[in-house]
Amino acid sequence: MYNQHFGLSETPFSISPDPRYLFMSERHREALAHLLYGLRIDGGFVLLTGEVGTGKTTLCRCLLEQVPEHCDIAFIFNPKLNALELLRTLCDELHIDVPANVLSLKVLVDRLNAHLLASNARGRKTVLIVDEAQNLSNEVLELLRLLTNLETSQRKLLQIILLGQPELRERLAEPPMRQLAQRIVARYHLEPLSRPEVTAYVQHRLAVAGARFNLFPPKVLERLFQLSGGTPRLINLICDRALLGAYTKGQPLVDMATLTRAAHEVQGQPASRRGMPSRRPRAVPTALAVALVAGLAVALLQGTPLPWLGGTAPPQADAGSAALPDPASRPADLAREARASAAATGETATAPPADADADADADADADAVQIVDAARSTPSPADAAPVAAEAPPTAAADSLPSVIAGPRAEDHWLHEAMAIRALLGQWQIEVEEPTTLANACQRAGLLGLHCLDMNDGLAALRAHNSPAILELQQAGGPDFLATLMKLEQTRASLAVAGELREVTLDSLTRQWNGRYILLWRAPPGGEQRLAPGARGPAVAWLEQRLARWEGVRPSAAPSSVFSAELAERLRTFQRAHALQVDGVAGPMTLARLATLTDPEAPVLALPTLARQAH
């Protein structure tokens, strides 16, 4: 009705999910990163919550457009189903043939399990997405949890993504839901748009609809943020009604009075009462898990270079917000305003802590448990013949590719997170959220491990004999991180974006710039420098580790004083490993000694001299 009046080619604020109007705020990009990360890791639940109208379903549509080729998706948008109905719907989505007269949960689970096993044997991953999951009954939630028990000896067979309103997050935090909550491998709470993002959002939609200038002056946009609380759906409704009001009055722009009246009509109460709840205070990170989430979510999704090397932002469904000129504004002013709008930053909501108690729920559905356990006992084709991607067969060196290819384009933004996950996994440290190297080192420090970041070469890496993250270069593409898992005389094993690859040493040395980061177990107290005259448990640790390296039995009561005799023994170790010979145990010396003499540390190659001795 008002399109011709304002020079628009179409209605800009329709609430239909037109992909051309998709606006990805930084919060939406963070949320999408968590969803995509959840698809790359094995099994469990991925949880996305947010207030009504914040864009959860839009994000889900964006996710569906970026699903990896090896994933099969089942989508349930009407979760008001009982357990039997949900299983039948899941089978329908996966094209599993089930006779109409089948009313047995066991039969349905058996058929689902057989399908999942066959898909896994073909190297495919199955993902179930449930929208409006706050409507799921406890019975169905428990069934979903039990379905995640379907597995082979190597991997889970079903990944489940739950999208829902804040009530879902609150329900999962309750004690009866603790077992399900403990299986959530990635979670994110989607907040409304910030003040600058509201401006960018409105300008973007107007630009797509063909507007020649901004129809909402800055003061009106400020008021729009206050009235809508930053909720995209409410912004659309208010803006659509405001444009209609301005049209009926013959106004060229939306003024404050028209916007206020539009909000009153949309919300059904005086606009001053603000029909939507005010934005909740953002939680202050208090747990280490939040630091792990924030790293990748901010560094990658803002397109900011990663702390170790230049990073690539995750795939984006939009081409960025478009700025529109105000009638009285100059282009330079508009450009500055657009840049300011695009520079808005977001925060990640804290995840509710999981209950450490893993005991079985007293209220669990015993029949469902029996059904799923019976399905788990079915012989798995994948157990007899593992998927090649998990453990590639050893190939002759001359048959290996001469170039180490980087991650696939859709996986590149995850290269750092997956490299970290592979390295920490070698130390039996689980990582459930994407993170950066800095945050990973922080977490490792809490567990008594230190990061050693060096720029040496292959000889030093062999001497450490410890898995490490390497920075690799590729012609015509961005640098990427990979985790060195095994090192032999002519070949190596690398984990690249979650994929294990066999490569030649020639290709590795050509593409590796010499930089690596590895973990080592610190002495008691976390000491990173010990000099003659030092005292304490760290000195006793140093004496014991040197004895192990020397191949002698460590003293039952080692001295806690750094003596001249201990300094001379340390110099012998430093000479043998081409380290600085100063009799001082600095980070490089301690790391080398720790990695060579720690019986619990992961290694690149076995045996080593130190390990043969003990």
Whether residues 372 and 499 share a domain: the answer is: no
Instruction: For tokens 């209950």, name the residue.
Output: 355
Q: What is the pLDDT of residue 213?
A: 83
Distances from the Cα of 390 to the Cαs of 498, 500, 501, 607, in angstroms? Answer: 9, 7, 10, 24
Beta pairing, strands 158-164 & 44-50: parallel
Would you say residue 230 lies in a domain?
A: no
My answer on whether 53 and 141 are in the same domain is: yes
- Which residues in the chain come in under a pLDDT of 70? 269-399, 408-413, 432-434, 606-614
Please check whether residue 369 is in contact with residue 106, taking contact to mean a CB–CB distance below 8 angstroms.
no
Q: Specify whether 423 is located in the same domain as 493.
A: yes
Residue 319, pLDDT score: 38
| Residue 163: inside a domain | yes
Identify whether residues 45 and 131 lie together within a single domain. Answer: yes
Instruction: State residue 303's pLDDT score.
Output: 41
The SS3 of residue 410 is helix
Q: Report the pLDDT value the prediction gives residue 198, as an integer from 0 to 100.
A: 94
Place of tokens 């999981």: 354
Domain end call among 521, 549, 582? 521
Q: Are residues 501 and 543 located together in one domain of the fold?
A: no
Q: What are phi and psi of 189, to 5 degrees?
A: -110, 120
Please answer whether residues 301 and 33 qualify as being in contact, where contact means their C-beta atoms are separated by less than 8 angstroms. yes
Q: Which DSSP letter does residue 470 get?
A: E
Do 517 and 546 have their domain in common? no
- Domain with residue 416: its CATH number is 3.90.70.10
Number of domains in the chain: 3
pTM score: 0.53
**Site of tokens 């909720």:** 231
The whole-number pLDDT of residue 367 equals 41
526 phi/psi in degrees, rounded to 5: 75, 20
Helix (H/G/I), strand (E/B), else coil: 248: helix
Residues 93 and 153 in one domain: yes
Print the SS3 string covering 85-115: HHHHHHHHHCCCCCCCCCCCHHHHHHHHHHH
> 434 is in which domain, residue-wise?
402-521
CB contact set of 86 (below 8 Å; sequence gap of 6+): 76, 79, 140, 143, 144
Last residue of a domain, one of 475, 490, 521: 521
Q: What is the CATH number of the domain that holds 554?
A: 1.10.101.10
Q: Which residues lie closer than 8 Å to 359 by C-beta, 6 or more apart?
A: none
Structure confidence at residue 606 (pLDDT): 60
User: Residue 584: which of 527, 537, 544 has the closest Cα?
Assistant: 527
Cα 125 to Cα 122, 135, 155: the distances in Å are 9, 26, 10
Query: In angstroms, what CA-CA distances link 107 with 167, 397, 421?
Result: 33, 48, 37
Asked whether residue 36 falls in the same domain as residue 143, the answer is: yes
Structural domain includes residue 310: no
Instruction: Report which of 307, 318, 297, 293 is spatially closest to residue 200, judged by C-alpha positions.
Output: 318
- Is residue 550 located within the same domain as residue 430? no
Same structural domain for residues 453 and 481? yes
Q: Are residues 43 and 177 in the same domain?
A: yes
* Residue 77, domain member (yes or no): yes
Mean pLDDT of the chain: 77
Q: Over 281-319, what HEC string results?
A: CCCCCCCHHHHHHHHHHHHCCCCCCCCCCCCCCCCCCCC
CATH code of 90's domain: 3.40.50.300
Q: Among residues 296, 65, 75, 312, which one has the least CA distance to residue 186?
A: 296
Residue 234 lies inside a defined structural domain of this protein: no
| Rg of the chain on CA atoms, in Å | 29
- Whether residue 344 is contained in a domain is answered as no
DSSP β-ladder status, 512-521 and 468-474: antiparallel
233 close to 15: Cβ distance less than 8 angstroms: yes
413 and 562, same domain (yes or no) = no
Sign of CA dihedral 546, 552, 553, 556: negative
Pick the last residue of a domain from 358, 376, 394: 376
CA distances from 154 to 99, 121, 390, 535, 567 (A): 31, 12, 9, 47, 48
Backbone angles phi, psi at 47, to 5 degrees: -120, 125
Q: Is residue 388 part of a domain?
A: no
User: Cα 395 to chain center, whole Å?
Assistant: 32
For residue 17, is the peptide bond before it cis, meaning its omega torsion is within 30 degrees of 0?
A: no
Residue 572 lies in a domain: yes
SS3 252: coil
